Every structure is written in C-alpha cells, then in structure tokens.
Amino acid sequence: MTEGRLRQYFAGFWFVACALVWGAGPGVEEVGAQTPTRPEVVELSFEGNESFPDQALRNAIVTRQTSCTFFVLQPFCWAGRDFALDRAFLTPRVFNLDYARVIGFYRGAGFRQVQVDTVIDRRAETRIAVTFRIVEGDPVRVRELSVRGLDELDEERLTRNLPLEVGDRLDLTALRAMEDTLARRLRNEGFAHAEVFRGTFIPADAPLEAEVDFDVFTGPLSRFGPIEVIGNEEVEERVIRRMLPFAEGSRYSRELLFEAQRNLYNLEIFRHAAIAQDLEHDPDSIVPLQVQVNEGNTHRVRTGAGWSTAECFTLESRWSSRNFQGGARRLVLRGRVSNLGTPQLEESICSGAGTGVYGDLNWVLSADFNQPFIFSPRNRFTASAFAERQSLQDVFVREGVGLNLTLTRSVGRTTPVSVFYRPQLARLDAAEVFFCTTFLVCDPQDIDVLQAFNRLAPVGIGFSRDQTNRAISPTGGYSLVAEVEHASPLTASNFDYERLVAEASWFQALPGDIVLATRLRGGLLNAGEFRGLQDRAPGEERPRIAHPQKRFFAGGANSVRGYAQNQLGPRIVSIELEELLFPVGGRDEAVCSPEEVAGLECDATPLGAGRFVPRPAGGSNLLEGNVELRFPIWGSLLRGAAFVDFGQVWGDGVGNGLDDLVWTPGLGVRYSTPVGPVRFDVAYRPARRELAPIVTSTLRPFDPGRDAPDDRIRGPEGAELDWVRLEDLALLGPRIPLEDPSGFSWQRVQLHFSIGQAF
C-alpha cells in the first residue's frame, strides 16, 4: 500500500469521526440519570495492591466505572456523546458489599491482616472517583504440610507436583485444588469412592504460619461393572463398545471414563455422549456404567466463503457421511476454489495472491475416508484421494492427483503419532526460471523432464503434542509438531530427498489479561540426484534436485509478517531479451550486444532493479519465529497484538548464519467470531540488499537457410536484429543488486488480512 493511499484512509476516517462528534446529539451534561445521591463513577482505582493487578480486583467487585462501549467509538466517548458510553453509577449498598468483597478476596488469598479503606473524590456534583486503598500486610504461609492415609500406596507418585507446597501462601483456591488433585489421582488408581478432608491450624503465637493436614479415605478398590448402551439408532452397539478403552471387570479409572467420552465424540456422529456411573451400587467395589448417546444427522452439507490477502476470495463446499457403510466410518467429499477475483483485484485487496498464471483459479477436489478403529480405539486409519491445481506465487503452478494414506495412534490424550505414505503424480508449470537458477538445469529438454508428470511419493512419521488450554487463541500451555519424510526409488518416487520440519509454540498468561505467545519453526532438506535427466559427461555429477513444493519458503500472514507470501529468502530475477538488446528506459543504447548475451557476458546491472521480475527461489534450510503480546482492547470481543517476527531461508550450499536473520515488528487487531478471530496485521521489514542471479533466453545468429524472416528478434519500436530466440535459458554473469531505499519507506509496510491467529 502506498504512502498516499494510507494518508487518504486516515484523513478520511478522522474527518468523518470529527464531523459526527460535533454534529451529534446532546452531550453528557444533559443526561439526567445520575443524581448527587447516585453519582456517576468516572474513575475506579486501587492503591497498595502489590500482589494482585487492578483487573483481578475489578473482577472481584460489582462497582464499575463509566467506559466506552466500543473502541471505534472512542472519539465520541472523548466528546461525551451518551450513545457511545456505558455509564456506571454508585449504589451505596453495593459499594458497602464491595468493601467486604475486597477484604474477603485478600483473606482468601492468605492475607489475614489486610486493611482496606475507601476514598470518594467528588469531581463534580454528580461525578465521583472511587479509590480502594489497600494495606496488604504479610500473608500467612504454610509451615507444615502433610498427607495421611497413603501408607499402602505409592505416596511419592501421588503427591508429586501438588498445587500447594511448604512456604506457599495459605490460599483457599490452592487448598481446594489440592483436595481435588489428590481425589482425582486416587480415583484414577481405582478408588472410585476416594475422599479427601482438609484441616488447617494457625498457632496463636505464630499468626503468620499455618499447619495444613489432608486426610485421605480411599475406600475399596473398584472395578467397572455391567455396561449398558442406550440411545443409539443408526450406530451399532458393538461400535460404541469398542470405542471404550475398558471392559467389564477392568480396574476403575475416572480418566478412562473421560477418554471413552472423547472417543465417542471424535466419531463426529453423536450430538451428545455421556457415561453415567452408579456409585451407590452394592457392593461398592463394582461400578456399573450407562453409556447414553444422542445421534446427529448421518449426512451433512456445509458451504463457506472467505477472503484473505494470500488467496483472494475462496469458496468451499463439503458433503459428509458420518456412518458410511456402518461402523461410524466417515466419508467426506470436498471441493474448494481460491484466487477468485485475483486478476481484477491483484493490485489492491488481493495483492498476495499472485499475478499472471499464478493468479489463475486454484482448485481442489478430494474424498476423505476415516476408519476410527484399527485393533484398538487408540488407532485410526485415514485415506484421501485428491486432484488439484495449486500455485505457489511467482515460483510454480502444480497440477496433480494423489493419495494420502495415514495410520495414527494416540499414545496420550493429546499426543498422536502418525505413519504416512503420500504418493502423487504431478506436473509443474511456470518453473523454467526456477530450475535454471536454483539447480542450474537450463537445458530445455531437462526442464521438460522436470516439469512433466513425475511421481512424488514420500513415506514418513509425524508427531504432535498439544498441551494448550484452548483450541482457539490459547492463553497457556505449549504445543509441539514434528515430521520426517523420505522419498526414493524404494518408495516409487522420481525425486529423492529427506526432509525434517519441527515447530514449537508456547503461551503464557500475564497480568492484565495479556498473553505472551511465542513460536519457533525450523526445517532441513537434503535433496538427492534426479535420475531422469540426460546423461552427463564422464565425471560430471547429476544435479541434486528436490521437488519445488518440498523446498522451504517464508513470509506471509502466518510466517514472518514483514514480507509478502513466500517473499523472504533467496530470490532470482528474470528479464526479456528485448530489454537487454534494445534501448529501454530512456537510454540511447542497448545495455548489451547479442554477442555478449550469447556468451553469457552481458552485464545487465545498469538497467536497475526495477526492470527485472523478482521471484522467490526457496531454500533447503529454514528458521523462523514469532514473539507476540496479545492484549485486550474492548473486552473479549476485540484484542490487539504487538509482535516481532524473525526468520530466514537459506539456499543450497549457503551457511546458516544467525546474522542473516531479519526482524520485522508490527501491530495488529483481532475481532472474535464463532469461526475464530478475524485478524488484521501491519508489519514493517528492514531494508535489504542481495545479489540475485539473472536469467534470460539464449539466442543464436539468424540463419536464412532454416529460419523464417519473422523469427528475428524485434524491439519495441519495430527494430530487428539478425538473431533468433532459443528455448534454452541462460544465467548471465554479474548478478543484479536488489536493494531497498534506506530510511523509512511505505514500500516496506506489509498488510495481512486473514482468519485465525498467526500461530
């Protein structure tokens, strides 16, 4: 986006805002809702709260202060327009209870000597500022902590990493968590009737020290009793029973009950699945179960549409059968198109979707089959068949068909491990320049072989572990993902390579409803020889070529956001012969002679970088990361983000120096929707300078004996040269410097719009 366009947007917004502010209706002074006995609270503050943030105390009381209803109405709030304000008033009875609530909050957190005072500052006859002045005092701390009743059990394992330790504050929340943790662990050990009782003693001569005892009553060791299944109609009872990770007579475990419920929900055919346990059964060592399910629609049709800067407008439709041929098997037929409207909008809201052939319609048709049970409810098999046309902006266009066969085992509740085989037959288009500059394969016959239909058939293993507390916009926990691939003739692949990708994300909640989110991603690619090329001279090695879609690219809305899609890393440039052989750009002479181009001695650098078409080349090594602070702007509906992304893609044979990392800061907003946050990010990248290889067409002298007169190379004004263009590509000698202007530049501001968090 240009500097002029940004200025127009901001100027237009503030012009409209100011006009509405001063042209709006009556101001706040004309509103008669508040009175001297019921004044408006214009400020609510806390003093002396060293242990807890203001927001935690605000959440503990009822009294509020007047606030703006929505952040975009902030100019109207500053002007006092009533329609934009959510007014709050002081109610004496509620205020007195809030005084007690603050004291109760601190005492529950272990501050038994807390003192609270309130100050009301009357700013005007009907406006006040309320302040809670707090003297926290020293907290009561746990001097002794004991757990009794675990004599015959593995006490060390059951009491490891408990929520409360010696030296901690005597926090009621931690005490309750301690009870729940001990009871949960015992019930997972088979003691269905386990109970935990707490005792607390504070000596009179040591009022800041506490002795805490937990008495455990395990009850009898229990086992699962008879299992009854009710509510199923289309799904057979045996299918439901085999998804239970236990059988009648198995040792009782509360965690296994939760796992069974998750297994049933994962079938995606049940609207509701619950497992009721009869803890009043006699004898109490037997726990009968009742599995109740409520089936949803067997067939479902869904459609959707979207827009992002990387894919322009998209449409998707899917039909699913959630009990295909019985057994709760799932079949999904899906169709998706993207790049809709790109040719018309490539200069504006779809600038990241590509131009020319890269901006043409992309599509995919697929059929996905899921078998939920393979010898165990922890195993599942999925098979997908697809046909697609996809483009990687300014790199290649791929058309192909293929399969994806995957066997997955859950080794933990959130830890699946997958083994896969992904054969496909695909051809490439618009990749001539890529092969010539990246792998030095410039012969047209060799390029034809590489671009023709080839088999890409990797086998591999994938691992993931998700310990985050939310599926969307997590505020705590971590996630890990890793995948290793191998392709060779043994896997029926024309391309040989090994590829490793790993990613780790970590989330930490901070005071003030702020979340620190971090991510680190890396990749390694080791390419082998491509055996389908022409024979090489004796002693000459065949080029090591990896399929372009397996190379690493960076930049984009979910990567290093200071760059457009795939634009970070090594780049190549191309130029037409006419630009080199005829005067262009106001020059009196051509920059090179035909003989210089034919001899690969043409120095095209005097033309300037603006005459060349840059394209990403990708690389064999990748490192990128993100550090992001996510903070509230307007409640939970609108949040902001301040981030710094870093990364680099290194080409083949290039050292992986951390000094090459680029850093791009930025800001963004996220608007919460049922399908995830709608995200708008603005990032700024530093000036960069690189030497890019130049590729153009080769040529030879005109031969009247075999060339037609129209085969001569013609310039923009009709001038002709006695030379003929060939299909071969050639790398010119000197590389062209691609250099950004120094200082601040709007050209280095990158905008991204998408749905979902960046990671």
CA angle, 501 then 617 then 339, to 5°: 85
pLDDT at residue 70 above 80?
no
pLDDT attached to residue 655:
62
Q: pLDDT at position 17, please?
A: 42
Residue 662 and residue 675 in contact, taking contact as beta carbons nearer than 8 Å: no
Half-sphere exposure in the Cβ direction for 36 (13 Å, CA): 1
**Interval 615-620 mean pLDDT:** 86
- Whole-number Cα distances in Å, 602 to 18, 571, 608, 721: 59, 20, 14, 17
Among 23-32, 264-273, 433-442, the range of highest mean pLDDT:
264-273
| Residue of higher predicted confidence among 145 and 435 | 145
pLDDT at residue 2 greater than cutoff 60: no
Q: Residue 271 has what pLDDT?
A: 92
Specify the amino acid at residue 153: L
- Most confident of the following: 19-23, 254-258, 531-535: 254-258
pLDDT at res. 318:
95
Q: Which residue, among 745, 647, 731, 661, has the nearest Cα to 691 in the 3D structure?
A: 731
Give the residue numbers spanning the domain of 13.
3-135
Say whether both 76 and 11 belong to one domain: yes
For residue 252, pLDDT over 90 is answered with yes
- The pLDDT, as a whole number, for residue 8 is 43
In order of 56, 113, 128, the CA distances from 45 in angstroms are 12, 21, 12
Mean pLDDT, the chain, integer = 87
Mean pLDDT of 128-140: 95
Do 20 and 131 reside in the same domain of the chain?
A: yes
Rounded CA gap, 93 and 96, in Å? 5
Q: Which residue matches tokens 């299992």?
A: 227
Three-point CA angle 45, 49, 52, nearest 5°? 105
For residue 651, give the nearest of 738, 555, 561, 571 by alpha carbon. Answer: 571
Nearest to 499 by CA among 464, 453, 547, 532: 547
Let me know if residue 63 belongs to a domain.
Answer: yes
The answer on 115 and 82 residing in a single domain is yes
Report which secondary-structure segment, H or E, holds 5: helix 3-23
- Within this chain, do residues 88 and 183 fall inside the same structural domain, yes or no? no
Based on the fold, state whether residues 27 and 130 are members of the same structural domain.
yes
Distance from C-alpha of 52 to C-alpha of 115, rounded to nearest angstrom: 15
109 and 16 fall within a common domain: yes
What pLDDT score was predicted for residue 32? Answer: 43
* Range with the poorest average pLDDT among 329-338, 376-385, 548-557, 603-612: 603-612
pLDDT of residue 24: 40
**Residue at 544 is within a domain:** no
Model pLDDT for residues 582-612, shown as the tens digit of each residue? 988 778 888 899 998 888 888 888 887 778 8
Question: Which among 88, 117, 135 is the end of a domain?
Answer: 135
Residue 108 domain-assigned? yes
Alpha helices in 198-284 (DSSP H): 237-242, 254-266
Burial degree of 581 (CB within 10 A; 0-12, 13-18, 19+):
buried
CA atoms lying within 13 Å on the CB side of residue 171: 13
Final residue belonging to a domain, choices 101, 135, 169: 135
Reported as a single tens digit per residue, the pLDDT across 698-719 is: 899 999 888 898 889 988 777 8
Contacts of 67 (CB under 8 A, 6+ apart): 85, 86, 88
Contact between residue 507 and residue 478 where contact means Cβ atoms under 8 Å apart: yes
Beta bridge partner(s), residue 699: 725
Q: At which of 217, 241, 258 does a domain end?
A: 217
Asked whether the predicted pLDDT for residue 25 surpasses 60, the reply is no
In the sheet where 286-295 sits, what is the strand order? 223-230, 286-295, 270-277
Task: Say what the pLDDT of residue 534 is.
Answer: 63
Q: Is the pLDDT of residue 755 over 70?
A: yes
Pair of tokens at residue 527: 């390419």
DSSP 8-state class, residue 205: T
Band the pLDDT of 176: cuts 50, 70, 90.
Answer: very high
pLDDT tens digit string along 633-683? 887 788 999 999 999 999 876 666 788 899 999 999 999 887 789 999 999
pLDDT, residue 28, reads 36
Whether 209 and 268 map to the same domain: the answer is: no
What is d(CA 467, CA 262) in angstroms, rounded to the nearest whole number?
16
The verdict on 162 and 51 lying in the same domain is: no
3 state DSSP class of 168: coil
Neighbours of 529 (CB within 10 A): 14
Q: How many domains does the chain have?
A: 3
Of the candidates 120, 121, 126, 131, the one whose C-alpha atom is nearest the C-alpha of residue 28 is 126
> Can you tell me the mean pLDDT for 359-386?
94
Q: How far apart are CA 506 and CA 522, in angstroms?
A: 15
Whether 171 contacts 109, CB under 8 Å: yes
Q: Is 213 helix (H, G, I), strand (E, B) or coil?
A: strand
Q: Please choose, from the candidates 286, 291, 248, the residue with its C-alpha nearest in 3D space to the C-alpha of residue 273.
A: 291
Percentage, residues of the chain above pLDDT 90: 56
Q: Environment class of residue 709 by beta-carbon count within 10 Å: exposed (0-12), middle (13-18) or buried (19+)?
A: exposed
CATH of the domain at 210: 3.10.20.310
In the numeric block, which tokens belong to residue 669?
Answer: 């907003």
DSSP state string for 426-483 = EEEES-HHHHHHHH----HHHHHHHHS-EEE--EEEEEEEE--S-SSS-SSEEEEEEE
Measured from the Cβ of residue 244, the count of other Cβ atoms closer than 10 Å reads 23
Q: Do residues 109 and 230 both lie within one domain?
A: no
The H or E element that residue 104 is part of is helix 92-108
Q: Provide the token pair at 550.
A: 């397996």
pLDDT digits (tens, 9 = 90+) for 3-15: 444 444 444 444 4
Torsion, Cα 69 75 77 80, to 10 degrees, reads: -150
User: What is the band of 697 on the pLDDT scale with cuts at 50, 70, 90?
Assistant: confident
Question: What totals of helices (H) and strands (E) does the chain contain, helices first?
Answer: 13, 36
422 vs 84, which has greater pLDDT?
A: 422
Confidence bin at 515 (pLDDT 50/70/90): very high
| Residue 301 resides in a domain | no
* Pair 185, 158: CB distance under 8 Å: yes
Q: Does residue 191 lie in a domain region?
A: yes
User: Given the DSSP bridges, would you call strands 141-148 and 209-217 parallel, antiparallel or unpaired?
Assistant: parallel
- By percentage, how much of the chain surpasses pLDDT 70? 93
Q: Does 73 reside within a domain? A: yes
pLDDT band, residue 416 (cuts 50/70/90): very high
Lowest mean pLDDT of 31-45, 111-125, 412-426, 510-524, name the range. 31-45
**Does one domain contain both 10 and 124?**
yes
In this structure, the answer to whether residues 48 and 124 fall within a common structural domain is yes
| 356 falls within a domain | no
Total length of the chain:
759
Residue 53 domain-assigned (yes or no):
yes
Residue 29 has phi, psi (to 5 degrees) of -65, -20
User: How far lies 205's CA from each of 109, 199, 202, in Å?
Assistant: 21, 19, 9
Same domain? For 98 and 178 the reply is: no
